[in-house]
Amino acid sequence: MELRILNTFLKVAQLQSFSKAADSLGYSQSAITVQVQQLENELGVRLFDRIGKNVTITHYGQAFIPYARDVISSVTRASHFAVEEKDLGGTLRLGTIESVIATSFTEVLSEFHRRCPKVKTEIHTGGTKDLLSMLQHNELDLIYSLDEPGYDPQLVKLFEKPADIVVLAGGQHPLAGRKDLMLKDVVNEEFILMPRTSNYRHLFDAELARQKLTVSPFLELDGTDMAIRLLERNPYLTVLPRYAAAQQLADGTIVELPLMDCRMEQYLQLVHHRDKVITPQIRVMADVIAESTGMEIHKD
């Protein structure tokens, strides 16, 4: 059973297409067909149904996916068992969101480079929906994002950590220090908000709708640092994950307005596609991110 054939099988299973798999792997479509047929003959079962131009994975094919992944991952690990982290090469592609990059990722990237100085790291930022699409098309190796808790059979969740979404103000804001605030007490203030594509903006909008309230931000921007700097100098409010302003909250230049009737929470999540072969480089990055959050990687 050849590794290249197992890799071909996984690619066809992921894309549900012989032609798309051929384009992705750089083979001819006939070569893909021959490899799949060879694997089916070796296993003695039909892995895909071919009806007209449609390709659908069978029950046997679905059941074989974890075995194929395990074989490829084991061989990959075995080929690197004597290789020091500092000798690893290649490219690692990580997708994340702006608030993570702006606040907590400097140390992660520095530590990963220290451990794997020969690995090229590509960072892609965007909304969680776009990042998940890139993961599905094998354009990313890992996603570190903020989202609602949930289950997707296509994804493996390495860890998730709760993150409070809070209303923030400058330390000199007239509402700073108030302990008896309700959401209705702040909606007429001047707000800076992230775009509606932001998960935590969506969460805030949902809470407003639940209470039949509205906020009309005078400024929308996709920049955590800029929002915080504006708050430090002006009587504005914004909504961000608490971690995004951890330093400013600690030194008092930014304060949290604790709303008695508004509790918002999402989860920092590190995920990869279930069909992704996890290389040593990916494992190191996952470990570094987990260490930075005080979390442990889930072991299957």
Render pLDDT for 270-291 as a digit per residue (tens, 0 to 9).
999 988 888 889 999 999 999 9
Q: Which two tokens stand for residue 124?
A: 């892609």
Q: What is the pLDDT of residue 154?
A: 87
**Residue 85 confidence (pLDDT):** 62
Q: Which residues contact residue 287 at a Cβ distance below 8 angstroms, ignoring those fewer than 6 apart?
A: 297
* CB-CB contact of 81 with 89 (8 Å): no
Tell me 10's DSSP state: H
Q: What is the DSSP string of 94-154?
A: EEE-HHHHHHTHHHHHHHHHHH-TT-EEEEEE--HHHHHHHHHTTS-SEEEEEE-----TT
Q: What is the pTM of this model?
A: 0.70
CA distance 39 to 139: 26
**pLDDT tens digits, one per residue of 107-149:** 999 999 999 999 999 999 988 889 999 998 889 999 999 988 8
| C-alpha–C-alpha distance, residues 171 and 78, integer Å | 55
Fold: same for 3-79 and 85-161+267-293? no
Averaged pLDDT, groups of 10, the chain, 300 residues long: 87 89 89 92 92 87 89 71 66 92 86 92 91 91 90 89 95 91 96 91 95 96 91 95 92 94 94 87 92 79
Compute CA distances 194 → 87, 92, 128, 211, 225, whole Å: 41, 28, 14, 20, 12
DSSP per position, 12-37: HHHHT-HHHHHHHHT--HHHHHHHHH
Pick from 239, 125, 248: nearest CA to 193: 239
Six-digit token pair at 105?
């990722």
Q: What residue ranges do the domains of the chain occupy?
A: 3-79, 85-161+267-293, 163-265
Q: Which CATH class is domain 3-79?
A: mainly alpha
pLDDT at 74: 75
Nearest to 61, CA basis, from 49, 70, 71, 52? 49
Paired tokens of 65 = 């996916």
Count of CB atoms within 10 A of residue 255's CB?
22
Structure tokens that stand for 87 in this block: 């000798």
Look at domain 85-161+267-293 and name its CATH class.
alpha beta
Residue 292: partners with Cβ closer than 8 Å, 6 or more residues away:
104, 107, 108, 111
CATH number of 163-265: 3.40.190.290
